[in-house]
Structure 1
Amino acid sequence: MTLVSITTRNIKKNFKNYWSYFLSLSFSVFSVYLFMSILYSKYIQDELGDMKKFITLFNVGAVMIVMFSAFFIWYSNSFFIKSRKKEFATYMLLGMSKNQVAKINFYENTFITAIALITGIALGLIFSKFFIMILFYMVKISSAVPFQWNLRAIKMTLKIFVAIYVIISIHGSIIVRNSNLIDLFNASKRGERGLKVSAITFLFTIVSVVCMYFGYSIAIQELGSNLLKAPIVVALVVVGTILLFTSATSFLIYINKKNEKSLFKGTKLISTSQLYFRYRGNVGTLSIIAISTTVALCALVTCVGSYTRAEENSRYMRPFSVEYFKTKDENAIFDRVLANHKEISVKYSDELELIIVNAEDPINNKNSDFYVIRQSDFNKINEHQKVDRKAELDYEDDCYFIQVQSFAANKSALNKRVNINLKDKNYSLKVAQTDIKPFTALDHFNQTFVVKDNIYDSMKLNSDKSKIIKLKGYILDNDFKAENFLKDLGKSLYKESGLVTFYEHYTDGLKLLGMMAFIGVFIGALFITATGSIIYFKMEMEATEDKEKFITLSKIGVSKSEIKSAVAKELGLLFGAPFMVAVINSLPATIALGKMLSLKLMNSFIVIASVYGLIYCVYYFVTLNSYTKIVVSKNA
């Protein structure tokens, strides 16, 4: 029998052991091809028009997918080789050389990779139109998408995965050639080392809880106002997560094993013993999956959450539909253009007068320029913008301070004194209220003091005319019908008018966030199929190694249902623990991100975490069914 025929027979006979790897590899190929087809399609580039500046996102997305695919394929291939070392040893015992065994492994890799490449590219050709239509919908491009295939994208995809295939083939060949018969036969036994638990384990358990507690606390309470603390939060959570799996979980399994009163109830003895002897070999994998799942959840929540909140974000950045500086006859030009667009009507208009003053910042104690605005004007603007805030200044020297330096209002500014010198008069103001929401477009905004009307009038009399600026803001009845009107207005107004509009910011933001969400969903989908597959591979390997143990259990009277129950508990920890830790890690991160971006991300977090959980459940039940079939296949 030739080596090729042996390889073909092995794959046909054991394809169920390859399906998850094949599925994830095919999806990786499909994702890379789709991204490459977008990058290299002249049609798509033409349709994107001025959005071409965002195409770099697809370059970044493609690089991330390639890197993760390479890591996943390397990791999975290592599992395959380890799980088949005994089989390789048998071949060598029957007279095959190491070179022949390495060739069998090489042929299997070649066959699976080739089929995955064909499948992934074929799926890309079939479904690329559909996914490009989704992308166009997300970025609000109204255009018919023709069916197309991109030879350049196919070539690039083939080059990437052939390179990955060559690397893992060389790696596999080195492993086989450097192993001897004893090492190959005993490979599975090396993982059967019981947990080592000591006082240091207990100490590290406490350290893990302390690290994660402080990481979460800093993220929730301080990260929104001080982004510089992000590395500290990341370090604490990563260290806490690693110690949680290496020490805390090990400690709990050890305590559970020592609890003899409950150990002999049902199948607890079997599941606890399995975890006691197998968990140590899974620590690294579970830690990596928990940390990387945390990153994936945070990235997805940010991308998808920001996209769903694009309008809210643009309203924050540009609260007026139309805003410009009043320098000449801008109001007359606006009215003239408006008269030519019957589809547009003005709901509110506000004329803002602001004084530029120099004062010491109440937060960092450094001198800088500020705006000053009347209390009555400020409250009227908030009412028109439907913002739930109001300047309530009880005393003559009270002021409302609007910050722009941080992601959350710095309460240290409250009750501080601000001295403003104008000509021969000094104004000493006390900060009575503060927040961070701008009342004009951020393009025009500066930190502002809201003062009583009479104080403002006094300041105006003592200010140079050059320090007084006027802004005009309009709120339209329907911003989403204003595209043509705004184009005409932009052509008519002066450059120095500094025209900014909500609709322009919204459409540009939607394009950027739509692309980010599209890329994030693909990377998230690839990630979860890969991590689910990694656990599946590992458990398939361990099921084969543990088969004889379960046969012995069956012979002494343990039923199939009891075996399945014990396996279910073991798999429940291996699938559930990294996912639950990732969800818990991601929750404070979501709260902090929401504060930073001034967005409500909790709904997106719940939906994304639920979808992840559902997919992990599918992998859990598939793995449970496969594991049970392997260990009870000869127990009838």
Structure 2
Amino acid sequence: MTLYELAKKNLRHNFKQYILYLYPMISSIAIYFTFVSLQYNKQVNDSAVTVEKIGPAFSAASILLFIFASLFIWYSNAFFIKKRKKEIGLYSLFGMRKKQIAKLLFNEILILGILALVVGIGIGFIFTKLFSMILIKLMGANQIAAFTISTKALFQTCAAFSITILFAALYNYQMIYKYTLLQLFQAERKGEGLPKAALIPAALSIIFILGGYTILLQPSTSNFWKNNGFLFILLSLLALLLGTYLLLRSLSIWVLNRLSKLKKISWKGVHLIGISSLLYRIKGSVLILSVIALLTTLTLFSMGTAFSFYHNMNSLLKFTSPHSFMYTVPADENAKRIEEQINENGKSNLVYSITLPYIEIQGDLSESSRLSDEHPLLLFSESDYHRLAEKMGVKNSFTLNDQQAISFYDGSLDQKEDPYTGKRARLGDRKEVTVISYERYSLVNQWIFAFPIVISDRLFQQMKSEAEVSQMQFVKIKNEKAAGKLADNIQNLSVKDENLFEDSPELPVSYFVSFYHEYQKMNETYGLLVFISSFLGFVFLLATGSMLYYKQLTEAFSERSRYKTLKKIGMNTKQIRQSIRNQIRIVFVLPLIIAIAHSSVIITALSNFLQINMVYPFLVAIGLYILIYYMYYLFTVSKYYRIVNDC
């Protein structure tokens, strides 16, 4: 019998044992193939009407996805080999040379890899249509997804995971030469020493975590952030990282030691066995639990942020695009055609339509540190502004002199900061005004390359000698989300300047922006963001759940003799199950609680900075995560019990 035939025989007769290894390989390949199939899917790309290229987003995410999938496979491979060390020792004891054993393992991994590729790609192909439909729906498109298979996705998946599987096979090949026969037979007997509680590191863990929270929760308007904001963010994240490790390494040990000394708790039922087991094994789990806590924090934060943006999309867009249409009135018969188009949409749907004169001029607002020294400004007179503000439902009663001006929200993420009040602004070559108020709402839609300024009526008349006066039409309708055809027609009739959408257009420019076009673009952008973050979050969840799962199974194999002894001294099945549940529950819950606390603080800080409500979407993300996480817990408890009961 050749080594290849022996490898096939092992797979046939011990297939249940190999499922533990096949599961991460098949799931990783299926997820990756599904994702890259969407990247090359023509229907998905055609659905992205306003987002010109979704390829870079998918490419970056697919690289991250592949890295974690490979680490997932690598970790499961390490568990699988560790579990088989005794079997490998028996091969050596029966006379097989190390080279033959290495080739046997190499052949097994290659066979499993080919099987995983075939099954994984098949599963991925089945789910491609489902996820295509979900993505297209999230992006607000109306296309119907069809079954398609991408040769690019197929080749990319096969090439990427062939390399991963080959490296795993080579690792197994060279691993055989590392261990002696005695080490292979004693692999399951190795355990971690009982860790000692250190009060100082335990106290430092609390100090680091609370310090990180304090930094993150500082108000965005505080001087704390102005000079070294990015540095303080890195410092807070580093504090959370160190605090998490020390909390699991020292504080958890200190708490368990204290519990073990409380007779009312530790001597109750099977608590003594559970606490002593946790104390004995905690040292080897600290690094894994720390990684899981931080990965879960990242997952909950990214999913919560993406869900929040998608959930708050309408309110964000209404804030940045207060008008359904805003366009420069054409100087020809097209102005009348546009008016007819709006009337055809239905007068009952019209909220307001108002025309205001404006002057576009190069200005200097560089004192604000937000705009350059040569930036396009849209000048409106004070009286015209009040007319528009009344239509918008904004109440203001200020009066300006010739040296004063009013500025408006500029689209910055930090909505609390006021960078303009008290700053000077140069209008054209000679005139200079001082901004006396920064209004925290959008006067014009944000998606134009010009900054609106309101000046006095008298100064506006004086500025007419320096620049041409144009007319801006502001229109608000009720059915603005469904006004795609109307928006396209108005754009075709109003826009003539080819450099409208350039970053630095030459003046004057014919402007056109619509709520519908920006809604479509935002829907596609945030829909794509939700999909990618959810996909990656699911992969992170698989990785963290599987790390815990394999770690607990490793301990289960080493604990079999211990539970066999407990059975002999009278411990019944119910007590064994309870002891297992208690131990595994703590291992699963501890990093989850830490991650929820960390991500809650980070989400709160981001919510305060962006001035949007992120509570409900974040709770949804936590709920979905806990649901799948709980399934991992139940599956681990069940498998753990079967292992220790089979002794």
Q: TM-score, normalised by structure 1?
A: 0.86
Greater displacement, 218-227 / 43-52: 218-227
The alignment's C-alpha RMSD in Å is 3.7
Shift in alpha-carbon separation, 1:528–1:419, aligned structure 2, 3 A? closer
Greater displacement, 19-28 / 398-407: 398-407
Residue 440, structure 1, aligned to residue 444, structure 2: yes
**Residue equivalent to 1:151:** 151
**Residue equivalent to 1:477:** 478
Name the CA distance, whole Å, in 2 between partners of 1:177 and 1:614. Answer: 43
Deviations 1:593-625 (A, max 9, x none): 335555433221111110100111111011111
**Residue equivalent to 2:342:** 338
Shift in alpha-carbon separation, 1:533–1:8, aligned structure 2, 3 A? farther
Shift in alpha-carbon separation, 1:64–1:46, aligned structure 2, 3 A? same
- Alignment of structure 1 residues 130-209 onto 2, 5 Å: 130-209=130-209
Name the CA distance, whole Å, in 1 between partners of 2:299 and 2:367. Answer: 39
Q: Which of 275, 290, 293 is matched with 1:290 structurally?
A: 293
Name the CA distance, whole Å, in 1 between partners of 2:464 and 2:383. Answer: 22
Name the CA distance, whole Å, in 2 between partners of 1:176 and 1:378. Answer: 80
Give the CA deviation at 1:90.
3.1
Give the CA deviation at 1:497.
1.7
**Residue equivalent to 1:627:** 640
Name the CA distance, whole Å, in 2 between partners of 1:272 and 1:483. Answer: 64
Give the CA deviation at 1:181.
2.0
Give the CA deviation at 1:570.
1.4
Give the CA deviation at 1:294.
1.4
**Residue equivalent to 2:259:** 256
Q: Which of 396, 413, 426 is matched with 1:407 structurally?
A: 413
**Residue equivalent to 2:501:** none
Give the CA deviation at 1:263.
1.9
**Residue equivalent to 1:86:** 86
Greater displacement, 172-181 / 278-287: 172-181
Q: Which of 352, 377, 389 is matched with 1:348 structurally?
A: 352
Unaligned runs of 5+ in 1: none
**Residue equivalent to 2:550:** 537
**Residue equivalent to 1:244:** 247
Name the CA distance, whole Å, in 2 between partners of 1:267 and 1:380. Answer: 76
Confirm or deny: 8 A CA contact 1:363 1:410 kept in the other structure: no
Confirm or deny: 8 A CA contact 1:204 1:247 kept in the other structure: no
**Residue equivalent to 1:65:** 65
Give the CA deviation at 1:93.
2.7
**Residue equivalent to 1:562:** 575
Shift in alpha-carbon separation, 1:71–1:510, aligned structure 2, 3 A? same
Shift in alpha-carbon separation, 1:34–1:208, aligned structure 2, 3 A? same
Residue 490, structure 1, aligned to residue 491, structure 2: yes
Name the CA distance, whole Å, in 2 between partners of 1:50 and 1:373. Answer: 31
Confirm or deny: 8 A CA contact 1:29 1:121 kept in the other structure: yes
Confirm or deny: 8 A CA contact 1:300 1:524 kept in the other structure: yes
**Residue equivalent to 1:618:** 631
Deviations 1:106-150 (A, max 9, x none): 344234323322221111222322322222222233334332333
Shift in alpha-carbon separation, 1:550–1:379, aligned structure 2, 3 A? farther
Confirm or deny: 8 A CA contact 2:383 2:457 kept in the other structure: no
Aligned residue for 1:474, secondary structure, equals strand
Residue 235, structure 1, aligned to residue 241, structure 2: no
**Residue equivalent to 2:320:** 317
Give the CA deviation at 1:165.
0.1
Shift in alpha-carbon separation, 1:477–1:377, aligned structure 2, 3 A? same
| Equivalent position amino acid for 1:257 in 2 | S
Name the CA distance, whole Å, in 2 between partners of 1:259 and 1:220. Answer: 46
Unaligned runs of 5+ in 2: 498-508
Q: TM-score, normalised by structure 2?
A: 0.85
Give the CA deviation at 1:403.
4.4
Aligned residue for 1:143, secondary structure, equals coil
Shift in alpha-carbon separation, 1:204–1:47, aligned structure 2, 3 A? closer
Shift in alpha-carbon separation, 1:519–1:558, aligned structure 2, 3 A? same
| Equivalent position amino acid for 2:631 in 1 | V
Confirm or deny: 8 A CA contact 2:38 2:44 kept in the other structure: yes
Name the CA distance, whole Å, in 2 between partners of 1:64 and 1:293. Answer: 16
Shift in alpha-carbon separation, 1:549–1:592, aligned structure 2, 3 A? same
Residue 504, structure 1, aligned to residue 507, structure 2: no
| Equivalent position amino acid for 1:506 in 2 | Y
Give the CA deviation at 1:9.
6.1
| Equivalent position amino acid for 1:57 in 2 | A
- Alignment of structure 1 residues 354-393 onto 2, 5 Å: 361=367, 381=388, 384-385=391-392, 390-391=395-396
Share of identical aligned residues, percent?
Answer: 25
| Equivalent position amino acid for 1:241 in 2 | T
Name the CA distance, whole Å, in 2 between partners of 1:537 and 1:425. Answer: 72
Deviations 1:423-461 (A, max 9, x none): 999977755xx554322111347666778xxxx335435
Give the CA deviation at 1:559.
2.1
Give the CA deviation at 1:13.
6.2
Shift in alpha-carbon separation, 1:219–1:125, aligned structure 2, 3 A? farther
Shift in alpha-carbon separation, 1:304–1:474, aligned structure 2, 3 A? same
Give the CA deviation at 1:279.
0.9
Greater displacement, 291-300 / 375-384: 375-384
Residue 268, structure 1, aligned to residue 281, structure 2: no
Name the CA distance, whole Å, in 1 between partners of 2:221 and 2:489. Answer: 46
Give the CA deviation at 1:11.
4.8
**Residue equivalent to 2:504:** none
Aligned residue for 1:503, secondary structure, equals helix
Deviations 1:359-385 (A, max 9, x none): 685789998977776777667656655
Name the CA distance, whole Å, in 1 between partners of 2:423 and 2:50. Answer: 45
Greater displacement, 99-108 / 549-558: 99-108
| Equivalent position amino acid for 2:353 in 1 | S
Shift in alpha-carbon separation, 1:18–1:70, aligned structure 2, 3 A? same
Name the CA distance, whole Å, in 1 between partners of 2:132 and 2:432. Answer: 62
**Residue equivalent to 2:31:** 31
Deviations 1:455-499 (A, max 9, x none): x33543554544677532111121133222222221211323210
Between the two proteins, the alignment pairs up a number of residues equal to 625
Give the CA deviation at 1:21.
4.5
Name the CA distance, whole Å, in 1 between partners of 2:478 and 2:370. Answer: 41
Give the CA deviation at 1:271.
1.1
Shift in alpha-carbon separation, 1:221–1:282, aligned structure 2, 3 A? farther
Confirm or deny: 8 A CA contact 1:378 1:391 kept in the other structure: no
